[in-house]
Amino acid sequence: MIASIKQMTQSIRFEGGDLDKSLPYALQTDAIATLAGGIAHQFNNALVAIVGSIDLLQLDLSGNPEVDKYAKNMLSAVKRMTRITDQLLAYARRGNYQPVLVSLNDIVEMIHPEIAREMSVDIHLEKDLAKDLPQILADPAQLQMVVSALVENAKEAMEGPGYIRIATREDFLGAMPHIPGQSVGRCACIQVSDTGKGMSEEVKGRIFEPFFTTKLIGRGLSMAAVYGIVKNHDGSIIVDSTPGMGTTVRIYLPAAKAEIQQ
Ligand SMILES: Nc1ncnc2c1ncn2[C@@H]1O[C@H](COP(=O)(O)OP(=O)(O)O)[C@@H](O)[C@H]1O
Ligand SMILES: [Mg+2]
């Protein structure tokens, strides 16, 4: 029941059929990421120009309720587009990456109030943060994006009352042959578990594909972004899921060098 980054690279597929089998998978996924990142970058530049122009319109025509109404609609569309481009850039590993020494516990604490505020009353949110967690070298904003995405999916997987648990712990990973490029040695681990509907093997094998979704209003970009961010931090992801029972996603991030020498 383990889906790893390797499975992701093995299962990437275009709508029209399998990828070109004459090319190695890594090369193909790299090409997709480069394309996605390139487009997202151009879109971002255009979105900045659009927001600037909307601001100017509102300034020049201030007090006109019609202008305000249309500007509000445009700004909310821009907000949605910005989220998509941020996720695409994260998947392509071209996001704004500013690593600092940080603890995964701090990341959880930073966004926990917002997560708790948006949780419905019949979902019990648990937080179990380990003491003495090794620090990691990471971009806090990107890791917040990871935790929010996992919690969002956990929430959306609920089909009634249930539990979502966010936990951190220290771990020592040995090399696992089925997870290439995995973080080996001392790691900080964060896991998000839910008692939601779980996933079939087929779904689990595809969750990191950009635009793969099983939801009516889903966009299928958050797990792709999680994948890009974790890879950018030399980390590993393990997904454990049982249909009808729930899902646990574990992310392992290597302890910062200063921590290892201690
Ligand atoms: N915790 C979870 N429980 C069940 N299914 C999940 C979970 N996390 C991800 N998935 C599956 O992975 C798919 C892709 O997730 P994601 O990239 O976040 O896109 P979206 O949430 O927009 O569909 C989801 O549509 C869902 O089928
Ligand atoms: Mg999602």
pLDDT digits (tens, 9 = 90+) for 94-148: 777 889 999 999 999 999 999 999 999 999 999 999 998 999 999 999 999 999 9
Provide the residue type at 176 as one letter. Answer: M
Instruction: Please provide the average confidence, as pLDDT, over all residues in the chain.
Output: 85
Q: Report pLDDT for 1.
A: 44
Q: Report pLDDT for 95.
A: 73
How far are the Cα atoms of 13, 59, 62, 235, 237 from residue 180, in angstroms, in the given order?
A: 20, 54, 57, 11, 11
What tens digit of pLDDT does each residue of 52-62 get? 999 999 999 88
Asked if pLDDT for residue 227 goes beyond 70, the answer is yes
Terminal CA-CA length for the chain:
35
Asked if pLDDT for residue 21 goes beyond 60, the answer is no
Q: Report pLDDT for 19.
A: 44
Among 1, 153, 201, 249, name the best residue to mutate to test ligand 1's pocket (greatest count of ligand atoms within 8 A of Cβ): 153
CB distance 209 to ligand 1 below 6 Å: no
Sequence-distant (≥ 6) Cβ neighbours of residue 107 within 8 angstroms: 138, 140, 143, 144, 147, 190
Three-state DSSP at 94 gives coil
CB distance 148 to ligand 1 below 6 Å: no
Asked if pLDDT for residue 204 goes beyond 70, the answer is yes
CB distance 215 to ligand 1 below 6 Å: yes
CB distance 243 to ligand 1 below 6 Å: no
| Max Cα–Cα distance, the chain, nearest Å | 64
What tens digit of pLDDT does each residue of 160-194 get? 999 999 999 999 887 665 555 566 789 999 999 99
Among 80, 158, 207, 242, name the best residue to mutate to test ligand 1's pocket (greatest count of ligand atoms within 8 A of Cβ): 207
> CA nearest 104: which of 142, 151, 143?
143
Q: Report pLDDT for 46.
A: 93
Mean pLDDT of 37-45: 88
Percent of the chain past pLDDT 70, that is, above it, reads 84
As assigned by CATH, the class of the 100-261 domain is alpha beta
As residues whose CB is below 5 A from the ion ligand 2, the structure lists 153, 222
What residue segments make up the domains of the chain, in order of their start?
Answer: 13-91, 100-261
